[in-house]
Structure formats: C-alpha cells, structure tokens
Amino acid sequence: MSVVSFGSLALVSGAVAEPVEETLTIDGEEMITVAPAPTEPPGHPFDEVKSGWLYREAETRQVESDSFENPGMLNVQRGEEIWNTVEGEAGKSCASCHDDAAETMKGVGANYPKWNEKEQKPFNVELQINACRTERMEAEPYKFDVQDQKDLTAYIKHQSLGEPVKIDLAEGEMMDWWEKGKDRYYLRTGQLNLACASCHEANSGQYIRADHLSQGQTNGFPTYRLKQGNLVSIQNRFRGCIRDTRAEYPAAFSDELMALEVYTAWRGSGLSVETPAVRQ
Ligand code: HEC
Ligand code: HEC
C-alpha cells in the first residue's frame, strides 16, 4: 500500500463498499467471519466484528478457502517439520514434550496473547515459542520474523482453525495492557497524523486505492500475503501500518506492540482463527 500521494485521510477516496456477505468454508468447516462484538469491557466501536476475508477480492477469498491452493499451507507444513526437529543442548524437539500438536495445541492459539505469570506480561505465540526454546530446549530464541518463527507460529495457530478468538483479560494485569493498547489504537502518529482507528474504524469500508479497508482484525495471522509471497506476522503488519502513517515504528515485541496485540485480539473476539489467512 502506498499513501505517499495523500496528505490527509479526507483524501483517501470516495468509494465505499460493504464487505461481501459470504460464507467462508475451509476444508468443509464453516468459519465465523461475522460475530457480535464483545460487550466486556464495554466500549467496542462496532456492533459486529468482521473478518478481513470479507473485504478481499473474490480471487483472494477463493485462495484462502481451499487448503490446496493456499500457499501458506506450505509454511504450515514446514512448521510441522520444525515441531518434530530436535534442536538445542537438551536434545529435544517441541514434540518431545507436546507430542501431537493436533491434540495438544488445539484451541491454544485462539487464546493468545495470554498472561505470562513468570515474565509478568502478556505473551504472544512467538514469545511462548522462544520461552520453550530457551528454557526447555536450551536453544537460541528466534530473532524477530525469521522464517522458522513464522512457520512454527502458523503451524501452532493453524491447530485452532475455526476456533473463536477469546482472550482472558481477567488474568494478571491483562486489563492494564488492554487499556494501554486501546490508548495506542486511538493515538494519532506520524506526518499523516493517523491513528489505527482513523483507518480501521472511522474509514473501514472505504478504499485506499485498490485496498478495501477492513476492521484490521488479527484472527488470520500469520497471514500469507500474495504480494510478498510469504507469511507476515502480526507485529510486522502493525509496523507496516504505522510506517504508512510516516511514523517511526516501535521495536518488535516492545510493550507498545504487545499492548496493541492484546487490544486488537479483543476487538476481534468471536471470529474464527483463520491462520494462515490469505491477503493481497
Ligand atoms: C522440555 C519440555 C518442552 C519442550 C521441549 C517444549 N515445551 Fe512448550 N511447554 C512446556 C511446558 C512445561 C509448558 C507449560 C509451562 C510454560 O508455559 O512454560 C509449555 C507451554 C507451551 C505453550 C503454551 C501452551 C498454552 O496452553 O498456552 C506453547 C504454545 C508451547 N509450549 C510451544 C512449544 C514449542 C513450539 C516448542 C518447540 C519449539 C516447545 N513448546 C518445546 C514444555 C516444553
Ligand atoms: C493509513 C491507513 C491505515 C492505518 C492508519 C492503519 N492501517 Fe492497518 N491496514 C491498512 C490497510 C490498507 C490494510 C490492508 C487492507 C485491510 O485489511 O484493511 C491494513 C491491514 C491491517 C491488518 C490486517 C487485517 C487482515 O485482515 O489481514 C491489521 C491487523 C491492521 N491493519 C492493524 C492496524 C493497526 C493495529 C494500526 C495502528 C497501529 C493500523 N492498522 C493502522 C491501513 C491502515
């Protein structure tokens, strides 16, 4: 996406379109792409939360609905190989402790980010993987966005395909992080002076050039982007959106981005996990 040629959101476009009303079925399983917005905590801006799938072109929608066509499934397969590969001084693989991910990881990814008692902060799946690598396998943590991290995260999230997103805000200090994430969501930044909400709330349904603005939901991540020919992680997506407002973007896994991840996950409560979703 390029925003170079417009200086304020008023110039985004004139075109508005409703998202399609279609059913997304993946491998015979119907996904929840529209859900009533969560009522707790109060203040959700929409009545209904909607999957980004509904805003994409027919061709892109089709690719996601067919596992054989979805190129992100190759990454999921690679993730399975990593799951079964021994690494680190302890001589273990993920499977050594967690066995068959289809059973042990079913539904797990739908509940992230999740409060981590030891670190006293929310963990996303990537941080949990790194904790298991360092503490349980005596292996190096993955650097942000290395291919193995994306593939393994996608593999874990994919075990929750179809499960509704539901994060537990009652644990630890999750509500403080939710608040922090909310503040960040409405904070205008960058030369274009735009907040997340400027695009994904006030202007969702509008077009930025060829891009139909969705609600900016996170239920499909890591997402396969056709343009990039690769998976894109949630925090990479956040950073890209922030960069497009011509602002400095925060470090990966910084408190700022973790808070945003908590808050945006909540905003999409009830939507099915679609990992790996397909986007243009
Ligand atoms: C030596 C055993 C061991 C190994 C090897 C291991 N884990 Fe874990 N894992 C655990 C334990 C114990 C927990 C629960 C406590 C914790 O969070 O540390 C856990 C928790 C998790 C969770 C969170 C589950 C939930 O319900 O929230 C995920 C996801 C996970 N591991 C993924 C992995 C991945 C991916 C690998 C390989 C890179 C891996 N683990 C390797 C022992 C292990
Ligand atoms: C200048 C407008 C703009 C701003 C500001 C913006 N985004 Fe985006 N964002 C987009 C566009 C365009 C897309 C791709 C089309 C779509 O899904 O809306 C996108 C996509 C996304 C997606 C992927 C949605 C999906 O279904 O794949 C997420 C998540 C997201 N944005 C989150 C954020 C967050 C969080 C912020 C604030 C830090 C933000 N965005 C700020 C324009 C923006």
Determine the pLDDT at residue 210.
81
Judge if the beta carbon of residue 244 lies within 6 A of ligand 2.
Answer: yes
Q: Is the CB of 82 under 6 A from ligand 1?
A: no
- Ligand 1 pocket, residue 110 CB under 6 Å: no
**How many angstroms does the Cα of residue 62 sit away from the middle of ligand 2?**
21
Tokens standing for residue 113: 């980010």
Can you give the pLDDT at residue 17?
Answer: 86
pLDDT, position 12 = 57
Q: Does domain 72-158 have CATH number 3.40.50.300?
A: no
pLDDT of residue 2: 37
Annotated ligand binding at 246? The verdict is: no
| pLDDT on residue 16 | 85
The answer to whether residues 4 and 17 touch, using CB atoms and an 8 Å cutoff, is no
Assigned CATH for 9-69+164-279: 1.10.760.10
According to CATH, where is 1.10.760.10 located in the chain?
A: 9-69+164-279, 72-158
Tell me whether strands 278-279 and 48-50 are parallel, antiparallel or unpaired. unpaired
Q: What does the pLDDT read at residue 161?
A: 98
Residue owning the nearest CA to atom 11 of ligand 1: 132
Q: Whose CA is nearest to atom 17 of ligand 2?
A: 214
Is 98 annotated for ligand binding? yes
pLDDT in tens, the chain (280 residues): 334 334 445 445 568 889 999 999 998 999 999 999 999 999 999 999 999 999 999 999 999 999 999 999 999 999 999 999 999 999 999 999 999 999 999 999 999 999 999 999 999 999 999 999 999 999 999 999 999 999 999 999 999 999 999 999 999 999 999 999 999 999 999 999 999 999 999 999 999 888 999 999 999 999 999 999 999 999 999 999 999 999 999 999 999 999 999 999 999 999 999 999 999 9
Is 94 annotated to bind a ligand? Reply is yes
* DSSP character string of the chain: ---TT-SSGGGS-S-B-PPP----EETTEE---EEEPP-SSS--S-SEEE-GGGGS-HHHHHHHH-TTT-THHHHHHHHHHHHT--BTTTTB-HHHHH--HHHHTTTTGGG-SEEETTTTEEE-HHHHHHHIIIIIS--PPPPTT-HHHHHHHHHHHHTTBTPBP---TTSTTHHHHHHHHHHHHH--BTTTTB-HHHHHTTTTTBEETTEE------TT-SEEETTTTEEE-HHHHHHHHHHTTT-PPPPTT-HHHHHHHHHHHHHTTTSBB-SS-EE-
**Of ligand 2's atoms, which has the minimum distance to the CA of residue 212?**
15
Q: Say what the pTM is.
A: 0.96
